[in-house]
Amino acid sequence: MTAESQLISGKTVRMLVRRGFKPLTFSGRRRGLSLKSLDGEFSKRLFDVLFSLSVLILFAPVYLLLTLLVVVSSKGSAFYVQQRVGKNYKPFACLKFRTMVENADEVLLEMMAKSPQMRQEYEDNFKLKHDPRIT
C-alpha cells in the first residue's frame, strides 16, 4: 500500500491506495441542489429578498414624502445614480436620494478654483464645513 495526498477544498486528504487500483477522487462541488445549499445560501437569499420587500412597502409613504420634498425644494431630479461595484466586481447603479445640487462635482471644482481657502479645507478633510452645494 502507498499513501497518496490530494488537496480538496483547502484540506489535504491522505488516502491509502493498493498498488494497481485507482484511488477514489472527489471532483469538487457537486452540481444541483443539496441539503447544505438549501440550508445556507437559499434561505439567506430568501430572507434578504422578503425583508427588503417588506421594508420597501412599509416605508413607501416616507420615501414618497422625501421625494416630494426634494423636488419642491430644488430643481432637478429627486434621485442620484451612482455606480458601485458589487458581487464578483460587477458594476451596478445605486439609486440614492439627492442631497446636493445637480452637478455637485463640477460646482465643487469651480468653487475650489475661485477660493484657495476652500480648496485647502477640502484637501485637508475631504469635506467643507459650510458646503453651499447641500440642498
Domain ranges in the chain are 34-98, 100-135
Residue 25 pLDDT exceeds 80: no
Dump pLDDT digits (tens) for 33-75: 555 556 688 889 999 999 999 999 999 999 999 999 988 988 8
Alpha-carbon distance of 21 to 111, in angstroms, equals 77
Segments in 9-135 forming alpha helices (H): 35-37, 43-58, 60-73, 104-114, 116-125
- pLDDT of 11 reads 46
Dump pLDDT digits (tens) for 71-101: 898 888 899 888 999 989 999 999 998 888 8
Confidence tier at 102 by pLDDT (50, 70, 90):
confident
More confident residue, 69 or 31: 69
- pLDDT of 10 reads 46
Alpha-carbon distance of 134 to 112, in angstroms, equals 16
Cβ neighbours for 134, distance < 8 A, ≥ 6 positions apart: 99, 100
Instruction: Indicate left, alpha or beta for 126 from its phi (over 0: left) and psi (-120 to 50: alpha).
Output: left
The pTM of the whole model exceeds 0.95: no
Backbone angles phi, psi at 18, to 5 degrees: -75, 140
Measured at the CA of 19, the angle between CA 14 and CA 22, to 5 degrees, comes to: 65
Question: Which three three-digit cell numbers place residue 83?
Answer: 455606480
**124: Cα within 13 Å, side-chain hemisphere:** 8
